[in-house]
Amino acid sequence: MSDSAEPRGDRIAKYLARAGVASRRDAEKLLADGAVKLNGKPVTHPATFVSAGDVIQVHGKVVDAPDRTRVWRYYKPEGLVTTHRDPEGRPTVFDKLRQQLPRVISVGRLDLNSEGLLLLTNDGALARRLELPATGWVRRYRVRVYGHPDPAALAALSRGVTVDGVRYGPIDAAIDSRKGDNIWLTVALREGRNREVRRVMAHLGLPVSRLIRVAYGPFQLGTLERGGIEEIPPRILRQQLPSDVAPAVPQRHRSKPRETSGAA
């Protein structure tokens, strides 16, 4: 008589990421800090596996089993920072949405003075995967600058540019419209480093007065109003996410998008 081994569940760091506790990297830090217990015993090794029925605690609080992977489109307004805790006490995206969503993690960030499309998910591992340049997703922006752009200098950005010793990858930038000294540009890039658009435009002598992200990969800002949020249906997620991370959602499941809107 042969015995078949019981299939193992997720590694604990991945489990915590899927449960929305933290990204997988931050979950590994929690493990190293001794903040995680499995069935009442401290766990420090990220390769520990979680089985059905196990009880996980982080800082003494029981972690609910991961929900199915969910992703929301959010029109982040200006004046909010994309962090769970801000040392300067500024209002955050997550404070704003605390009453409307479960614990979520952003896919990338938008700085305090930027607005537009921000993807939010309850799956920390997915968030990390979609932030990587290797995913190949293009971030698109509408950018209002002050000055007189040189079309040749904008075109040269497609070969990449070095600013203050930092090398940025190819950027597609073109003039969209102009009104006096205010110029709207369309900008597309794949890396999305911290304040990349603002720094590159400043390097060209074009201070940015407004920056709106209109697309992140296949997902569009569309007609969302400032402060509005809408869940992406599971069927669309399965179609648009990379095959190695696309959620397996039962066909009979129905998820009605939830939408709210309001001013920042």
Q: Which residues are catalytic?
A: 111
Tokens of 195: 């304040």
> Exposed (0-12), middle (13-18) or buried (19+): which is 37, by Cβ within 10 Å?
middle
Say which amino acid occupies 128.
Answer: R
Helices (H), 75-187: 93-97, 124-131, 151-156
Tell me if 92 sits within 8 A of 86, measured CB to CB.
Answer: yes
H or E stretch covering 73:
strand 71-76
Tokens of 106: 């952003």
Dist. CA 169–CA 191, nearest whole Å: 7
Say which amino acid occupies 220.
Answer: Q
Point out which residues pair with 62 in neighbouring strands. Answer: 57
Long-range contact set of residues 61-68: C-beta below 8 Å, sequence gap at least 24: 63/16, 63/19, 63/21, 64/19, 65/19, 66/15, 66/18, 66/19, 66/20, 66/122, 66/123, 67/19, 67/20, 67/102, 67/122, 68/234, 68/247, 68/249, 68/253
Helices (H), the chain: 12-18, 24-32, 93-97, 124-131, 151-156, 196-203, 234-240
